[in-house]
Amino acid sequence: MPMLDEAQVEKVYRRLAKAMPGRTRDAKGPKGQPDAFRSCISCMLSAQSLDRNTAKAADALFALATTPADMLALTDGQVARAIKPCGLYNMKARNIRRFCEALLGEHGGIVPDTREGLLGLPGIGRKCADIVLSFTFGKDVIAVDTHVHRVCNRIGLTEAKSADRTAQQLEERSPDWALRDGHFWLIQFGKRVCTARTPKCAMCPVSDLCEYYAAMARD
């Protein structure tokens, strides 16, 4: 499907900004974690896991350790047992070890606040990096999760097969003023209106601009 032009992209954001609450005071770091280290680990745990299972795993793990050094004092078996609820626990336990080693070895145990720095750490991909940048460090970055990816490619803000590519295109195509709250408008819109299975097109504020809607009308 074709992508919207610059003026249309601007219109979409203006309408979403009006219809959705955006970044609210209670918008917490990934899964509500209080610092960048726990945000990164929590994000790693969330891969292919439901929120409630990620929360269970994170609570059990952070009851054992909350710093890279303390985490490295645990065995992989201890970590794997604690994070079992979130699945892929052996692989995630190994990634957590590699992440903590790199964080201590290359950054003195301090999580870097740049995308390049975060992406250089084992286990941290574009989605985790952008979520940590946006939520924990308060940077103007549109993090792309499954909702944002779906919504952007339905409307025509982007035309991308992967969430990472959507993130790149959004960064290139979004007006600067929309970068701070864009993630929140898009995710709220994806949960309330442009839902995965049955989007509520009849009540959608951007249906006249939406490429997916236009394609359905043509069929």
Residue ranges in contact with ligand SF4 by CB under 6 A: 154-155, 193-194, 199-201, 204, 206-207, 210, 212-213
- Report how far apart, in Å, the C-alpha atoms of 18 and of each of 21, 22, 45, 98, 173 are: 8, 9, 34, 43, 20
Task: Give least dist CB 75 to ligand SF4, A.
Answer: 47
Comparing CA positions, the residue from 132, 99, 101, 102 lying closest to residue 114 is: 132
179 vs 201 by CB, closer to ligand SF4: 201
Q: Rounded to 5, what percent of the chain is helix, strand, coil?
A: 60, 0, 40
Query: 113 Cβ partners below 8 Å, 6+ apart?
Result: 36, 133, 137, 139
Please confirm, yes or no, whether 28 is among the known catalytic residues.
no
Q: Pick the catalytic residue: 113, 140, 145, 164?
A: 145
User: Contact at 8 Å (CB) between 197 and 209?
Assistant: no
56 vs 154 by CB, closer to ligand SF4: 154
Please confirm, yes or no, whether 76 is among the known catalytic residues.
no
44 vs 151 by CB, closer to ligand SF4: 151
Task: Give least dist CB 180 to ligand SF4, A.
Answer: 21
Alpha carbons 151 and 195: distance in angstroms, whole number: 8
Q: Pick the catalytic residue: 31, 56, 92, 127?
A: 127
Task: Give least dist CB 160 to ligand SF4, A.
Answer: 16
Position 73: which residue type? A
25 vs 197 by CB, closer to ligand SF4: 197
Task: Give least dist CB 204 to ligand SF4, A.
Answer: 3
Alpha carbons 172 and 195: distance in angstroms, whole number: 25
Active site residues: 127, 145
